[in-house]
């Protein structure tokens, strides 16, 4: 298997002066460390207004910073919110391509919708339309990245004329594409669309194996890719807190892990929130004595505990057919030093044996899936590129305005465009600026 990290950028209250700046610098250092230790990827979410739970509202900026502090890490936009109320579609294509260029082709392009009321209503995204918006805009971003020029599109949520969306990505035709999946139906949809499944839901091993097997069966039989490639991969998340002292690892790890769930439930399920005032961490501290009892006596394999327990857990993930594990090490108020130590322990004591098997596994997998992926691509209805003679010509603005002036004032020689623009500007009362 491959191993990466997933960042929500959790920053619980209280928020001291200069605390958020130091917090961001610590996470940058953590990511740089994972690159040095040989981890495969770092994934960063996109969320808005979700205080304490996720201060990751500009992942494109954070990932760009990471790109200059790392050499090998794959940079996962995990995820870009695709409804155009959040991110205008062509701007997504431009940002993905730019990040791919500045990182020398290391981008993984994750997509999704989000479902919190804070975000949907904050950006004017209708709950009942977010899935349709995600589908339409995700397909068109892939076309924008792959086609030269983009032929243009008139859809329900996107209207755009012919334009060549630049720059273009290093990875051709575009970076690997993924979908955020929090339940069984979403994992099946990812397979139907040829997208990697970012499985953020934590489920038992037997259930997860069934979902993974079904995902690959759909890839083989029913996939019609939404993009220009098929990215057949499953990534699952796992909290990470390791120590030779099991109780120390469990105390900090489970407290961070349960805050992740507590804050998520607050924003997505049953919270009452006053923007800028509600203190989720204070509420969590009050609930912690009861929540703590749920892991007392818990002795199953887990990546919260000792290295040996984590090794057994990874063997279970490997047996399920998982392609990549994304560790949530930055959770709640786990100290920066403890996060770094957990990352080191896993990289030094556990990761090498799985990496040794990864190359052969990937080779076998690619050979097995190749004919099925070829068949899936053959089922796709492709947006057709324009022939050169069919690419429309559009006039520069000043030329367009000048021609409008000619129509009103009679024929004007092309050498007098500027005078025509000046005449129109003065007529409108605007100050000429030519």
* pLDDT tens by residue, 185-203: 999 999 999 999 998 666 7
pLDDT confidence band for 432 (50 / 70 / 90): very low
pLDDT value at 14 more than 70 = yes
The share of the chain scoring above pLDDT 90, in percent, equals 85
Q: Which pLDDT score is estimated for 399?
A: 82
Q: Could you give phi then psi for residue 236, rounded to 5 degrees?
A: -120, 150
Q: What is the pLDDT of residues 349-373, one digit of tens each?
A: 999 999 989 989 999 999 999 999 9
Q: Which pLDDT score is estimated for 199?
A: 86
Q: How far is CA 14 from the centre of its chain?
A: 28
What number is the average pLDDT over the span 18-27? Answer: 98
Q: Is the peptide bond before 185 cis (omega within 30 degrees of 0)?
A: no
CA distance 291 to 287: 6
In contact, 57 and 93? CB cutoff 8 Å:
no
What number is the average pLDDT over the span 318-337? Answer: 96
Q: Number of C-alpha atoms within 13 angstroms, CB side, residue 332?
A: 23
What number is the average pLDDT over the span 48-54? Answer: 98
CA distance 94 to 275: 32
Q: What is the pLDDT of residues 79-105, one digit of tens each?
A: 999 999 999 999 999 999 999 999 999
Q: Which pLDDT score is estimated for 416?
A: 57
**Of 221, 180, 175, whose CA–CA distance to 197 is shortest?**
180
Report yes or no on whether pTM surpasses 0.85. yes
Q: Which pLDDT score is estimated for 412?
A: 47
pLDDT value at 78 more than 80 = yes
Beta strand 241-242 with 177-181 is: unpaired
CA distance 15 to 18: 8
Q: Which pLDDT score is estimated for 207?
A: 87
Average pLDDT in the chain:
93
pLDDT confidence band for 169 (50 / 70 / 90): very high
Q: Which pLDDT score is estimated for 17?
A: 97
What number is the average pLDDT over the span 257-270? Answer: 96
pLDDT confidence band for 293 (50 / 70 / 90): confident
pLDDT confidence band for 407 (50 / 70 / 90): low
State the residue for tokens 């053959």: 378
pLDDT value at 433 more than 60 = no
Q: Which pLDDT score is estimated for 24?
A: 98
pLDDT value at 47 more than 80 = yes
**Of 306, 318, 303, 324, whose CA–CA distance to 231 is shortest?**
324
pLDDT value at 410 more than 60 = no
What number is the average pLDDT over the span 278-292? Answer: 96
Q: Which pLDDT score is estimated for 22?
A: 98
Q: Lowest-confidence range among 12-21, 144-153, 189-198, 395-404?
A: 395-404
pLDDT value at 173 more than 50 = yes
Q: 3-class secondary structure for 177-238? A: EEEEECCHHHHHHHHHCCCEEEECCCCCHHHHHHHHHHHHHHHHHCCCCCCCCCCCCEEEEE
Q: Lowest-confidence range among 29-33, 167-171, 180-184, 202-206?
A: 202-206
Q: Which pLDDT score is estimated for 434?
A: 42
pLDDT value at 287 more than 90 = yes
**Of 189, 79, 91, whose CA–CA distance to 132 is shortest?**
189
What number is the average pLDDT over the span 289-316? Answer: 87
In contact, 336 and 15? CB cutoff 8 Å:
no
Residues 337, 341, 344, CA angle at the centre, nearest 5°?
140
């Amino acid at each position: 298997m491959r191993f990466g990290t997933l960042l929500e950028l959790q920053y619980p209250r209280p928020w001291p002066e200069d605390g958020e700046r130091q917090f961001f610098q610590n996470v940058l250092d953590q990511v740089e460390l994972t690159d040095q230790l040989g981890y495969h990827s770092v994934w960063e979410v996109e969320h808005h207004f979700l205080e304490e739970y996720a201060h990751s509202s500009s992942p494109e900026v954070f990932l760009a910073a990471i790109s200059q502090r790392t050499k090998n890490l794959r940079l996962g936009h995990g995820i870009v919110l695709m409804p155009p109320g959040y991110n205008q579609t062509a701007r997504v294509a431009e940002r993905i391509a730019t990040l791919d260029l500045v990182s020398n082709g290391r981008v993984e392009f994750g997509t999704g919708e989000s479902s919190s009321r804070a975000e949907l209503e904050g950006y004017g995204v209708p709950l009942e339309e977010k899935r349709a918006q995600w589908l339409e805009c995700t397909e068109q971003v892939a076309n924008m990245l792959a086609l030269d020029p983009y032929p243009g599109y008139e859809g329900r949520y996107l209207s755009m004329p012919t334009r060549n969306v630049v720059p273009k990505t290093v990875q051709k035709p575009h970076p690997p594409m993924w979908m955020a999946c929090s339940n069984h139906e979403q994992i099946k949809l990812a397979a139907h669309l040829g997208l990697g499944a970012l499985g953020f839901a934590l489920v038992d091993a037997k259930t997860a194996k069934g979902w993974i097997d079904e995902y690959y069966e759909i890839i083989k039989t029913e996939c019609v890719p939404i993009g220009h490639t098929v990215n057949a991969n499953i990534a699952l998340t796992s909290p990470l807190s390791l120590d030779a002292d099991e109780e120390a690892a469990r105390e900090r790890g489970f407290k961070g892990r349960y805050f992740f769930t507590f804050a998520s439930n607050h924003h997505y399920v049953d919270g009452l929130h006053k923007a800028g005032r509600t203190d989720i961490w204070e509420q969590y501290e009050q609930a912690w004595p009861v929540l703590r009892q749920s892991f007392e006596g818990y002795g199953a394999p887990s990546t919260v505990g000792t290295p040996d327990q984590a090794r057994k857990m990874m063997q279970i993930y490997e047996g399920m057919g998982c392609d990549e594990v994304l560790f949530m090490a930055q959770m709640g108020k786990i100290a920066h030093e403890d996060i770094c130590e957990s990352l080191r322990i896993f990289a030094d004591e556990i990761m090498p044996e799985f990496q040794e098997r990864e190359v052969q596994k990937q080779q076998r997998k690619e050979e097995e899936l190749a004919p099925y992926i070829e068949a899936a691509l053959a089922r796709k209805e492709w947006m057709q590129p324009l022939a050169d003679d069919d690419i429309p010509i559009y006039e520069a603005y000043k030329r367009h305005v000048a021609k409008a002036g000619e129509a009103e004032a009679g024929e004007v020689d092309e050498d007098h465009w500027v005078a025509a623009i000046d005449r129109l500007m003065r007529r409108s009362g605007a100050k000429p600026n030519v």
